Amino acid sequence: MIFSTLFSAVAFPEIDPVIFQIGPFAIRWYALAYVAGLIIGWQMMMRFARAEGSRISAKQVDDFLVWATLGVILGGRLGYVLFYKPDYYFSAPAEIFMVWQGGMSFHGGFLGVVLATILYCRQQKIAILDFGDLLATVVPIGLFFGRIANFINGELYGRTTDVPWGMVFPEGGDMPRHPSQLYEAFLEGAVLFILLIIFRRTRFAEKQGFIMGMFFAGYAVARSIVELFREPDAYLGFLIGGLTMGQLLSLPMLVIGLYFMFRSAPKTA
């Protein structure tokens, strides 16, 4: 990739969001990111489930993949429609189903996966907290790939800045902006994943719900920090108390996460 200097910043790298296209059929980096996150996360969950002492079987993880996929896609899309652009989509309901045009919400996808997990665990008679601890460990993998795809698409960019690594995004005007998608990939993806893996090797992993709570709280903190650099959505702007929608939606996640962390108890046979 060749970068050019402009206003002491780097230009956005020219990466076609479409990997290849045959007629109306197109494969996009955004779709590939979802596939990569689901498959790699699924494989890692299978590996954890096969480990000695696991209370979740590899077959149970394998069967959950379809549930997780539906939860992510349906929840992510409906969350975006309801949280960010309800007026627009209610006036053009046919576009709700046009997911290839972009528009997914992490918080919506999160709620979709939570619902899918509860229903699946009840059907399979699995302890929800045990399964939640396992699932939460691998979610940052999907977040990492998703934010990289946001960067490639040139969407969800940051606020204007004078830092040396500021970028001029195609849709962001002539001023350099924070590459906030990469900040999110780093904090919500890489850093959070490493922390969860580390804590899985400590005595805290013996407490039901601790790892799951740590993910909830960790994501909320990481997202709230990055929102300080990310450009608020033009159709929403700043909301209550100068907070963004991402920060407001992260507050209940933080509270729920801390609740599970502090109330977690040793696993029983």
Q: For residue 186, is it left (φ>0), alpha (ψ between -120 and 50) or beta?
A: alpha
Structure tokens at 21: 């296209």
Contact 208, 130 (CB under 8 A): yes
Q: What single-letter amino acid sits at 257?
A: G
Q: How many helices and strands in the chain, by DSSP H and E?
A: 9, 7
- Please state, in angstroms and rounded to a whole number, the distance separating the CA atoms of residues 170 and 167: 10
φ/ψ of 164, rounded to 5, equals -60, -25
Unique residue bearing structure tokens 């209610």: 90
- Please state, in angstroms and rounded to a whole number, the distance separating the CA atoms of residues 137 and 113: 14
User: Does 147 show up as a binding residue in the annotation?
Assistant: yes
DSSP 165-193: T-EE-TTS-SS-B--HHHHHIIIIIIIHH
Contact 72, 112 (CB under 8 A): yes
Contact 250, 219 (CB under 8 A): yes
Annotated binding-site residues read 147
